[in-house]
Structure 1
Amino acid sequence: MDRAMTVTADIGDDGLAHVTLRRPAAGNAIDLATARGLLDAARACERASVRAVLLTGEGRSFCVGGDLREFARFSGGALEKHLLAVTDALHDALRTFAALDAPMVAAVQGAVAGAGIGLAAAADVTLAAADASFTAAYTGIGYSPDAGVTWSLPRLVGPKRALDLLLTNRRVPAAEAAAIGLVSQVVPTGRLASEAARTAGALCHGPTAAFGATRRLVAAGLTSDLTTHLDREARALAAAASSEAGREGVAAFFEKRAPDFPPGT
């Protein structure tokens, strides 16, 4: 299938990018076309300097992981080569999204498994419908994880709980996912789309550069020593305060009004 049909990236005039997985009949499983479609979408967001990204999956499930039907068509060295092509594209997409200043919101529903967990975990704000459930699934079929799952899960839920989820493949309902920090919030299934749009829209009108600095600081802080990190924070704060967005934010505070952050600041 044409990768332009499996993933779409609709970027509005306001800078909000709607990135949608569009393989509902396959549970939005990630085949090679979808992985490359995600990379195309990430690069489109990068080129457009978007202000926020909303990631969704069409249909009953957000993403059930890798497309095993496609993988089963290969064996031996051909399978290894194919999986490397899939993961190269998928991982490049994740790296590109992570490098944006724009924050990402993910709205997840139904089954979220394998690489679907990696996509959900890659978002800065992950909203889960009440009907969502999460299953690592990899080791259940003799695979090891991809999509950054072994990097993100320990950071979100702790290494002990991450190993529990990855080794036992137990099903985690939405309420538990929120309780352990895998998702940000659970919302009623019928309100998922509207709540995700509201959240992404609010972020879209925020100080994009400050959001980017904050994303990078949080990521770096997990592996930095305190002294290095404090210096990094100080430099980032000084740059933000002297920026157009920083000046507008402070002016709005003193004038007791909502700030109007210009695009690109």
Structure 2
Amino acid sequence: MGLETILFDAQSGVARITLNRPDRLNSFNTMMHGELAGVLDEVAGRDDLRTVLLTGAGRGFCAGQDLSDRAVAAGAEPVDLGDSVDRYYAPLIRRLTTLAKPVICAVNGVAAGAGANIALACDIVIAARSAKFIQSFANIGLIPDSGGTWILPRLVGQARALGLALTGDPLPAETAAEWGLIWKCVDDAALMDEAGALAERFASGPTRGYAETKRLIRGAWSRSLDAELDLERDAMRELGRSDDYREGTAAFLAKRKPVFTGR
């Protein structure tokens, strides 16, 4: 695909995407936004790719926006950061959260600013013990974008969300796991094995069931229990007609491992 800022590998149903600007802690510039959007669009359109594993090259996951890409200096003309959010960051968060396939993020080091919130937008976050999550926006007079103001209070509550957002203090991965901000913290050496094994499990699992689970849980914040019960009924009706449900049930009764096709 001629990619310069990310690495993309597709094997055995897993789309492995690596942010690849290690000299800049994988911070985003315009090219990286464009390349990542293109790859995620390709993944969305390919039935053979059934899960995504996102990580970063080098010693960090992502330091957010590459500020040198904007060339902002004291006394310079103001820039429209809202345009940047609208053009790049908001569409990326929407792609990750609405992709009808599980998205795993392996946080291999610092995840700061938008980088932290991009990680948290993924369905399952596994972090190396040395990793840190930093809501660094306050240090330059901004607010947590890329969904930060929405996801933080929902995951850790208002008190902790405000503490993280207003202080910009680093949150160690182990504490992030204890608070329920991420799924799991593992030893650095085990990170990619753990994340890879989970990706392979999802790639051979019941893809439609995963997609409906993701859709319902992610949308539940805005619905009543009655509305959710109706949506659960509809999803169960549809999934009950799937090949994967029939295979899963047959395998359970026969005491064998199911062979799911994602259909």
Task: Pick closer, same or farther for the CA change 1:215–1:153 going to 2, 3 Å.
Answer: same
Percent identity, please: 37
Question: Which residue does the alignment assign to 1:22?
Answer: 20
| Paired amino acid for 1:43 | D
- Match of 1:102, SS? coil
Q: How far apart in 1 are the matches of 2:241 and 2:101?
A: 20
Q: What does residue range 1-265 of structure 1 map to in structure 2 within 5 Å?
A: 4-12=3-11, 14-49=12-47, 50-73=49-72, 75-77=76-78, 79-80=79-80, 84-85=83-84, 87-262=86-261, 264-265=262-263
- Match of 2:91, SS? helix
What TM-score do you get using the length of structure 2 for normalisation? 0.93
Q: How far apart in 2 are the matches of 1:239 and 1:28?
A: 41
- Match of 1:257, SS? coil
Choose 151-160 or 66-75, whichever is displaced more: 66-75
Which digits, 9 at most, give the CA deviation of each residue in 1:182-215, with x for residues without a partner? 1111111011111111111111111111000000
Which digits, 9 at most, give the CA deviation of each residue in 1:158-183, with x for residues without a partner? 22211111111111111111011111
* Structure 1 position 238, deviation (Å): 1.5
Are 2:9 and 2:17, in contact at CA under 8 Å, matched by a contact in 1?
A: yes
- Match of 2:185, SS? strand
Task: Pick closer, same or farther for the CA change 1:32–1:3 going to 2, 3 Å.
Answer: farther
| Paired amino acid for 1:80 | D
Which digits, 9 at most, give the CA deviation of each residue in 1:57-91, with x for residues without a partner? 000000111111222357435x217x624652232
Which digits, 9 at most, give the CA deviation of each residue in 1:94-117, with x for residues without a partner? 212322221011000221111111
Q: How far apart in 2 are the matches of 1:154 and 1:35?
A: 26
Are 2:97 and 2:123, in contact at CA under 8 Å, matched by a contact in 1?
A: no
Are 1:136 and 1:169, in contact at CA under 8 Å, matched by a contact in 2?
A: yes
Q: How far apart in 2 are the matches of 1:119 and 1:251?
A: 39
Q: How many residues align structurally?
A: 260
Q: CA RMSD in A?
A: 1.8
| Paired amino acid for 1:246 | Y
Give unmatched runs, 5+ long, in structure 2. none
What TM-score do you get using the length of structure 1 for normalisation? 0.92
Q: How far apart in 2 are the matches of 1:8 and 1:76?
A: 35
| Paired amino acid for 2:120 | A
